[in-house]
Structure 1
Amino acid sequence: MIYIGLTGWGDHPALYSEVTSARDKLFDYSGHFPVVEVDTSFYAIPNSATIDKWCRDTPERFQFVLKAYQGMTGHLREDLPYETRNDMFNAFKECANTFKKYNKLALVLVQFPPWFDCTAQNVQYIRYIKGQLIDYPIAIEFRNQTWYARDTKEKTLHFLRENELIHTVCDEPQAGVGCVPLVPISTANKALVRIHGRNIHGWRNIGNMHNWRKVRFLYDYNEEELQALAEQVRQLQGQAKDVFVLFNNNSDYHAAPNAKRMQEILGLQFEDLSPKQMNMFEGEL
C-alpha cells in the first residue's frame, strides 16, 4: 500500500476551510491524506494529552510518522535538556507509546545531521538507537554522502537490512557532502520517501542563514519530475509492504498540490478519511 502525505499539518492553507481554527487543522488535513509527519517532535517531545487529541481528531486508520527528538539524533551534541540520556529516551518512548495505543504509529523517523558521517562510531550509535527504540519501526535518514560512497553504499544498505531498519529514500538537491542521492531501495517491510525539493541554492544556505528553512524547501516539482518520482515509488512498492511518501517542499506551499498530483499519477484513492471541509483540488488536477 502506498500512503501519501506531508511533513506537518499546520501550514498548508489549500487544505483548510476559511473558518478553520488552528486546533482544527489536523482534522481538515486528514480529509485529504492518510498520513502525516509529526515534525514538531524534533524540537520538543509532545505530551500524552496533546497526542491523545491528535489521535482522536483523525480517522481510525490514519497514521503518524513520528520524527525523533533532536537530542536523540546528535543535533544538540551533548547539550541536552534532560538530566540523563535515558530520561530523554524514556520521554520519547512515552510519546511513541501514546500513538501506539491508538494503533496510529506508522514509524519513527531518525534523521541524522549532515556531520553524521559513515564511521564505526556512528554505526555503533545507530545500534544504540535501535536498542533504545527496540519496540518501534525505525526509519533512518542520512544527510551525509559518505553513507552512499562507492565502497560503502552496499554495506550501508546491508547494515540497515540486517538490523531491520527502514531506509529513508530522499529526493533533494545534490549540493555537496551534506546531502544524499536518491536510492530507491527498501531494507524492511516498510519504506519511507521524503521529498525535499531540488533548490540547490537554498540547500547550501548561501547568504540566508537567518531564514534558511524558508529558502531551503522552496521548490515546485514539474510534471516530468513528479512522473519520474512516481516511477521510483512504484519500484519501492515492489520491495515493501507499505510505502510512505512525504512531501517537505513547502516553503511556498507547493507540498500539498505536488502530493495531490502524485496521488493522481499513481491512481490512488484513499478511503476512510475525515469529511472534507473544502474541495479546492477538484477539477484542477
Structure 2
Amino acid sequence: MGDILVGACSWTDRQLVASGWYPRGRRDAEGRLRHYASRLPVVEVDAGYYALPSRRNSELWVERTPDGFRFDVKAFSLLTGHPTRAESLPADLRGNGRGWLGRGQASDALLDEVWGRFAEAVEPLRGAGRLGAVLFQFPPWFAPGSWAEAALDACVRRAEGWPLAVEFRHPGWWEAEQAETTHALLTALGTSAVGTDMAQGLPASLPPVVPVTRPALAVVRFHGRNPAWGRGTKEERFRHDYDVSELAARAPRLRRAAGLADELHVLFNNCCADAAVRAAETMRGLLTAPCR
C-alpha cells in the first residue's frame, strides 16, 4: 500500500486562523505553517487559484516544512479557463485591464507569460521534493468532448514535467457511460484524476468515485455535503462537519486507491472554522489504524 497523506485545502483560511486551532505564539505566517506541518503531512495551496504564487513564498514554505511534507498547488484561474479578475494579474501584465477576463479573452502572449511565471513560482517546491501535485480544477462548463480533450492535451504539453492532478466540475466526466473513457484519457495523458466527496442528488453532483489514473499519485478532495453546493457564499457551499461514521464509510475505498498508487492525498475542503483540519486528523487516524 502506498503512503496516505491527509490534510486540508488551506492553512491560512481566515476562519481557520480565527478558530483557535493555532496556539498562541504560532499565529504569524511562519508559526502557522510550522504548526500545521507538525500536525498534518500535506496541504493544498488554494490561494494559487486566486493570484499567481511567488517564488519567494515557495522558498519560505520549503524552509518551514520537514522533508516528506507535500504542497498541492491549485493552478491559477486563468490557466483553467475560469473568469479571472484583471486586478489579480501582476501589475505589469494588467495593462489598462479592469474587470474580468472571460473565456477566450486572454491573448496567447498573456497566457504564455502567466504559464511561465506560475512554473517559476512553484519550482522551489518541485526542486525540494515538496510539490505533490499541481491541481487543475476545470469549470462546470468544461464538458466531455473533443474540444475539452484538446484543451487537456494542450495543458499537459505546457506543464510537461509537473505532477498534474485534474478535477472536473462537470458531472458528465464520471457518469457511468463516460467514466471508462475519462479514465483512459487521463491515464494516457499521465495525469492524476481527482476523486471527490460532496452532497449527492444535486444537478452538479459528482459521483463519489476514487479513480487512480497515475500510479505515482492519487488525489481525493472532500468538499463537504452541504446541499447549497453550486450557489450561495463560499462558507455556505462548503459548510459541513463530517462525523466519524461518514469518514469511516469512505475509508475502505480510500485504502483500495492507496493500494494502486505510490501516494494518496486526501484533502478536506469543508472550510468552516477548523472543520477541515479536524476531519483530516480524524480521517488520518482511521486510515492509519490497523484493519480488523
TM over 0.5: yes
Does residue 230 of structure 1 match 2:248? no
Q: Displacement, 1:177? A: 4.0
Q: For the residues of structure 2 that align with 1:85 and 1:20, how far apart are their CA atoms?
A: 38
Q: Displacement, 1:39? A: 0.6
Q: For the residues of structure 1 that align with 2:200 and 2:106, how far apart are their CA atoms?
A: 31
Secondary structure of the structure 1 residue equivalent to 2:176: coil
Q: Displacement, 1:179? A: 3.3
* Contact 1:175 1:204 (8 Å CA) reproduced: no
Q: Displacement, 1:253? A: 2.4
* Contact 2:6 2:40 (8 Å CA) reproduced: yes
Q: For the residues of structure 1 that align with 2:4 and 2:111, how far apart are their CA atoms?
A: 35
- More displaced 10-residue stretch of structure 1: 63-72 or 9-18: 9-18
Does residue 18 of structure 1 match 2:24? yes
Q: Displacement, 1:185? A: 2.1
Percent identical among aligned pairs is: 30
Does residue 199 of structure 1 match 2:226? yes
Secondary structure of the structure 2 residue equivalent to 1:170: strand
The answer for the alignment partner of 2:207 in structure 1 is 181
Does residue 58 of structure 1 match 2:65? yes
Q: How is 1:25-40 mapped onto 2 (pairs within 5 angstroms)?
A: 25-40=32-47
Q: For the residues of structure 1 that align with 2:262 and 2:132, how far apart are their CA atoms?
A: 12
Q: 1:213 aligns with which of 234, 240, 255?
A: 234
Q: 1:158 aligns with which of 181, 184, 189?
A: 184
Which structure is higher in helix share? 2
TM-score by length of 1: 0.87
* Contact 2:8 2:276 (8 Å CA) reproduced: yes
Q: Displacement, 1:231? A: 1.3
Secondary structure of the structure 2 residue equivalent to 1:181: coil
Q: 2:79 aligns with which of 72, 78, 86?
A: 72
Secondary structure of the structure 2 residue equivalent to 1:226: helix
Q: For the residues of structure 2 that align with 1:14 and 1:99, how far apart are their CA atoms?
A: 28
Q: For the residues of structure 1 that align with 2:284 and 2:209, how far apart are their CA atoms?
A: 21
Show CA shifts across 1:46-79 (max 9, x none). Answer: 1111111111111122110011110000102234
Q: Displacement, 1:105? A: 0.5
- Structure 1 pair 253–231 and aligned structure 2 pair: CA distance change class (3 A): same
Q: How many residues align?
A: 263
- Structure 1 pair 149–104 and aligned structure 2 pair: CA distance change class (3 A): same
TM-score by length of 2: 0.85
* Contact 1:114 1:179 (8 Å CA) reproduced: no
Q: For the residues of structure 1 that align with 2:75 and 2:207, how far apart are their CA atoms?
A: 22
AA aligned to 2:73 is L
Q: Displacement, 1:266? A: 1.5
* Contact 1:14 1:256 (8 Å CA) reproduced: no
Show CA shifts across 1:4-40 (max 9, x none). Answer: 1110101334541123233121111111011110110
Q: 1:253 aligns with which of 245, 255, 274?
A: 274
Q: For the residues of structure 2 that align with 1:258 and 1:14, how far apart are their CA atoms?
A: 16
Secondary structure of the structure 1 residue equivalent to 2:264: strand
AA aligned to 2:76 is Y
Q: For the residues of structure 1 that align with 2:152 and 2:37, how far apart are their CA atoms?
A: 32
* Contact 1:109 1:140 (8 Å CA) reproduced: yes
AA aligned to 2:279 is N
5+ long unaligned stretches in structure 1: 270-285
The answer for the alignment partner of 2:118 in structure 1 is 92
Q: For the residues of structure 1 that align with 2:78 and 2:203, how far apart are their CA atoms?
A: 22
Q: For the residues of structure 2 that align with 1:129 and 1:90, how far apart are their CA atoms?
A: 13
AA aligned to 2:12 is G
Q: For the residues of structure 2 that align with 1:50 and 1:217, how far apart are their CA atoms?
A: 27
* Contact 1:116 1:122 (8 Å CA) reproduced: yes
Q: For the residues of structure 1 that align with 2:209 and 2:257, how far apart are their CA atoms?
A: 10
Secondary structure of the structure 2 residue equivalent to 1:220: coil
Secondary structure of the structure 1 residue equivalent to 2:142: coil
